[in-house]
Structure 1
């Protein structure tokens, strides 16, 4: 993948990850009265909201038939959510969301109800939000090349800081229990 395309996809990843943080915060505000909900990362990003649209954009570029593509808008976000939940629970022994009390769920990581929400959101994202993001990218493309290293550094630092503090917290908990 040429650097220019990778740079553009990284832009989309960061924007969608931020929009996911806003979406979850808004949902949390509506459901609990508080905007801030603990997520995996410390910063204002939810990577699974960045990965799902990127995978869907790649599928869209393959020009698969519309019925198959619409199925992918259901399967890909649900798969990303399941894998994210499983990885976070496996690596950090914590479950950030739990659908186990809902019907038609799989190990508490995904459920049919939220998969349908993700399907609607993914479809709207690709056909409404993505064209707007493409316009935004075109308007900031020359500046993005200069800002990209700082954004990548910030995202990497957030990931490393989060992993380090969560591992340190686990070790402290093990010591206090032992």
Structure 2
């Protein structure tokens, strides 16, 4: 094991934050408005932390071989992205991304072009970013003796529990609204849009953020809600 447990925790947190910054900046530029990315409340994306930490451990002995580093990076990143998609769908009934429009995709969860990009990212990460990050972590470990890792576990663990509660409430609300919509399919569309707007106003900050920052977010058991959300987003894009 190339890292101590506390180093693994700090690495996980550091790259979760870096992943959140990268994704927030990229998606905000792409969507032409600020997107507070990430599944949790805090400014971090655990999927990046898990993936990068695993990659650093798995590639520790081959980091001087760029070809093997790239191949392992592609494989590990792809597996993580697929597993994260399955986890979100079957645990929270949510889909946050969809690669169905890309060639060679697998169930819209992963796609070759995305995986190849992750491979390049891994090489850049291991050879350029990680040496600098490791120096900071070595300094932090000498100063805090692992207490920072404990604090990270407490904060992110609490965040995860609160997020589960928030998402479950959102899921129950969308299912309830979906049932009402299914019973009133002949209601005027404008009236339905108004009702949808009022529904959004009743959601918490985090629930609204998930709906607006992830335009491809879908609930697998709320088809009518997904369609109403899609029409609302399309309507707002046409206005802008």
In the superposition, the TM-score normalised over structure 2's length comes to 0.67
* SS of corresponding position for 2:98: coil
1:166 maps to: 167
Higher relative contact order (CA 8 A, sep 6+): 2
Q: CA RMSD in A?
A: 2.2
CA gap of 1:175–1:30, structure 2 versus 1, over 3 A, is closer
Question: Matched residues in 2 for 1:31 and 1:44: separation?
Answer: 19
- Aligned-pair CA distance for 1:161: 0.7
2:77 maps to: 77
The answer to whether 1:123 aligns with 2:123 is yes
- Aligned-pair CA distance for 1:149: 2.3
The within-5 A match list for 1:1-178 is 5-63=4-62, 66=65, 67-141=67-141, 142-143=143-144, 145-176=146-177, 177=179
The answer on whether the counterparts of 1:17 and 1:50 sit within 8 Å (CA) in structure 2 is: yes
CA gap of 1:65–1:145, structure 2 versus 1, over 3 A, is closer
CA gap of 1:123–1:46, structure 2 versus 1, over 3 A, is same
* SS of corresponding position for 1:137: helix
Q: Number of residue pairs matched?
A: 177
Any stretches of 5+ residues in structure 1 without a counterpart?
none
Any runs of at least 4 consecutive aligned residues in structure 1 with deviations exceeding 6 A, and if so which?
A: none
- Encode CA deviations 1:41-97: one digit per residue, 9 max, x unaligned: 121111111111111121123448934333111110111011101110111111111
In the superposition, the TM-score normalised over structure 1's length comes to 0.89
The answer on whether the counterparts of 2:74 and 2:119 sit within 8 Å (CA) in structure 1 is: yes
Instruction: From the CA coordinates, give the structure whose radius of gyration is larger.
Output: 2
